[in-house]
Amino acid sequence: MTNIFEVLREDHDRQRKLLKAVQDTSGDEAQRRSTFSELARELDAHAKAEERSLYAAMLAHKTSQPMASHSVHEHNEIDDLVEKLKDMEFSNPNWIRTFEDLAHKVHHHLDEEEHGVFQVAGKVLTEQDKTDLVAKFRDEKKVEV
Ligand SMILES: [Fe+2]
Ligand SMILES: [Fe+2]
Judged by DSSP in three states, 77 sits in helix
Whether the pLDDT of residue 1 is over 90: the answer is no
- CA distance readout (Å), 35 to 2, 99, 120, 142: 29, 12, 33, 20
Residues 124, 59, 118, 85, Cα dihedral to 10°: 180
Neighbours of ion ligand 2 (CB under 5 A): 50
Query: Which one of the ligands is nearest to 71 CA?
Result: 2
Q: Which ligand is nearest to the CA of 78?
A: 2
Q: Show me where the domains of the chain are located.
A: 4-144
pLDDT higher than 90, residue 27:
no
Task: Look up the pTM and report it.
Answer: 0.95
Cα 44 to averaged position of ligand 1 atoms, centre (Å): 10
- Ligand sitting nearest the alpha carbon of 114: 1
Q: What are phi and psi of 90, to 5 degrees?
A: -65, -25
Q: Quick one: average pLDDT of 45-58?
A: 98
